[in-house]
Structure 1
């Protein structure tokens, strides 16, 4: 088996709001869009499909779910501080300020208009070996 792509599918209340956020602030490109649906991609990250909550294309037991409790995390090789500043300067609220975890993870989070948590991560040497 060989995978050709990885996609995360998220059910949100306002597809257009998350689509605009991901396109404007994270550089995603819209591949396809229709009422209640958008497929976005960028060459260096997981593809994202946005589905409107209640959309009939989903099985009935999945239609009212919401992308809650999920963190969409992006690992950077450098420039974490610059990304936090860029987003802050664009008026995006930093919902978890930049911090260093003892296991070597440096991270911060923002939240899109639908409540989707987006985390930016850099890995460094842990404080305690």
Structure 2
């Protein structure tokens, strides 16, 4: 078996709001879109599909679920502080300020208009006792 792509599908209340957030602030491009669906991609990250909550293509038991409890994480090779500043300057609320974990993970989080948590990560040398 060989995978040809990876996609995360998020059920949201307002597809257009998340689509605008992902294209404006995260550099995604729109592959396909309707009022209830958007397929987004960028060459260096997982593809994102946005589905309107209640959409009939989902099985009945999944239609009213919301992308909750999920963190969509992006690992950067450098420039974490620059990205935090860029998003803050664009008016995006930083919902978890930049911090460094003892195991070497540096990160911050923002939340899109539908409550999807987006985390940016950069790895540093771990702290030792």
TM-score for the superposition, normalised by structure 2:
0.99
The residue that corresponds to 1:103 in the other structure is 103
Note the residue ranges of structure 2 that are not aligned, 5 or more in a row: none
SS, match of residue 81 in structure 1:
helix
Q: State the number of aligned residues.
A: 129
1:84 corresponding residue in structure 2 = 84
SS of the residue 2:16 aligns to? helix
Provide the alpha-carbon RMSD of the alignment: 0.8
> Are 2:48 and 1:48 aligned?
yes
Structure 1 stretches (4+) deviating beyond 3 angstroms?
A: none
Structure 1 residue aligned with 2:68? 68
In 1: Cα distance, 2:10 partner to 2:69 partner: 11
| TM-score, reference length from structure 1 | 0.99
Query: 1:24 maps to what in 2?
Result: 24
Task: State the alpha-carbon separation in 2 of the partners of residues 80 and 50 from structure 1.
Answer: 26
Task: Specify the SS of the correspondent of 1:106.
Answer: strand
1:100-124: CA deviation from partner (whole Å, max 9, x where unpaired): 0001100000000000000000011
Is the CA contact 2:16–2:35 (under 8 Å) kept in the aligned structure 1?
A: no
Shift of 1:35: 2.2
Unaligned runs of at least 5 residues, structure 1: none
Q: What displacement does 1:28 show?
A: 0.2
